[in-house]
Amino acid sequence: MLTKTIFGFERARKAIKTKKGKPAYSKTNVDVRGDDNFRKDFIKIYNLKPEDFGEWDPKTKTFKMTFKNFDNSENATSKFLIKVAIESLRRSKALILQEYNMDQAKSFLLNKETKDWPFVMTDKVIAKEESIPTFTDKYELSKIDCRLKMFVWNGELFFRFVYSHLQAVINLCSRNTDWINVILKDDKFKEVYPEHLKTKFGLSTI
């Protein structure tokens, strides 16, 4: 699932191996593969199109490129985030699962409800957060630069997935979007997904 997301790109950039021991890869608007010798920050890029290129700097002989965060994979990403959150809670903080109603999220995972489930790529913090994993699990995740956090806002439970410099936040209880307005108030990046929701919040989809 991560292949068609910015998280897959980051895995390739960080020279993470696949389960088969091969370089990680990503496929959004371009194809990206990690270095064959597993050197960090070395990637191979395939299937470039003219629209993927930005400004060319003749002095530094460099140019800007556009990478999509997701390639029609937002719903799959929402499910991934919810699934990781529930599994981590079940493993480390099982009692939390009894405190909050996550029936809507579970129905979404089972495809009983197919309406899009929003999430935001942001590092903005709107409530006190705490790690879900503890001790050994937390340590093992730190070795791959990954953190799983939770927080409560307006009576609902939220999950923050952190991988390297990337952060995604999702509501685990409902599709309520009030919290997104709070984040967008001061967040200059304003990355709301699925993409079509940007129009709802008056954001550019470009």
Domain final position from 18, 34, 65: 65
Question: Residue 106's pLDDT band (boundaries 50, 70, 90)?
Answer: very high
CA–CA distance, 21 with 135 (Å, rounded to integer): 27
Same domain, 133 and 187: yes
Picking from 182, 167, 177, the residue whose alpha carbon sits closest to that of residue 199 is 177
Domain final position from 10, 44, 65: 65
pLDDT on residue 204: 65
Q: Considering the chain, what percentage of its residues have pLDDT values greater than 90?
A: 67
Same domain, 47 and 110: no
Is pLDDT of 205 > 80?
no
Least confident of 65-69, 79-83, 153-157: 65-69
Mean pLDDT of the chain: 91
Same domain, 105 and 132: yes
Same domain, 99 and 176: yes
Choose between 201 and 33: higher pLDDT.
33
Q: How many domains does the chain have?
A: 2
Q: Is residue 140 part of a domain?
A: yes
Same domain, 190 and 92: yes
Same domain, 11 and 96: no
CA–CA distance, 206 with 197 (Å, rounded to integer): 13
Domain final position from 65, 98, 114: 65
CA–CA distance, 167 with 172 (Å, rounded to integer): 16
The sheet with strand 25-27 has its strands ordered as 25-27, 31-34, 43-46
Least confident of 43-52, 129-138, 181-190: 181-190
Picking from 136, 80, 134, the residue whose alpha carbon sits closest to that of residue 108 is 80
Same domain, 51 and 84: no
Same domain, 167 and 124: yes
CA–CA distance, 53 with 106 (Å, rounded to integer): 40
Give yes or no for a contact between 102 and 172, defined as CB atoms under 8 angstroms apart: yes
Is pLDDT of 69 > 70?
yes
Q: Are strands 129-131 and 146-153 parallel, antiparallel or unpaired?
A: antiparallel
The answer for residues whose C-beta is within 8 angstroms of residue 139's C-beta and 6 or more apart is none
The model scores a pTM over 0.85: yes
Question: Residue 80's pLDDT band (boundaries 50, 70, 90)?
Answer: very high
Tell me the residue range of the domain where 88 lies: 74-200
pLDDT digit string, tens, across residues 9-27: 999 999 989 889 999 989 9
Q: Is residue 7 part of a domain?
A: yes
CA–CA distance, 23 with 17 (Å, rounded to integer): 5
pLDDT on residue 24: 93
pLDDT digit string, tens, across residues 170-204: 999 999 999 998 988 876 666 899 988 888 887 76
Question: Residue 57's pLDDT band (boundaries 50, 70, 90)?
Answer: confident
B/e letters for 80-101, b = 16+ CB within 10 Å, e = fewer, are: bbbebbbebbeebbeebeeebe
Least confident of 17-21, 25-29, 32-36, 51-55: 51-55
pLDDT on residue 187: 65
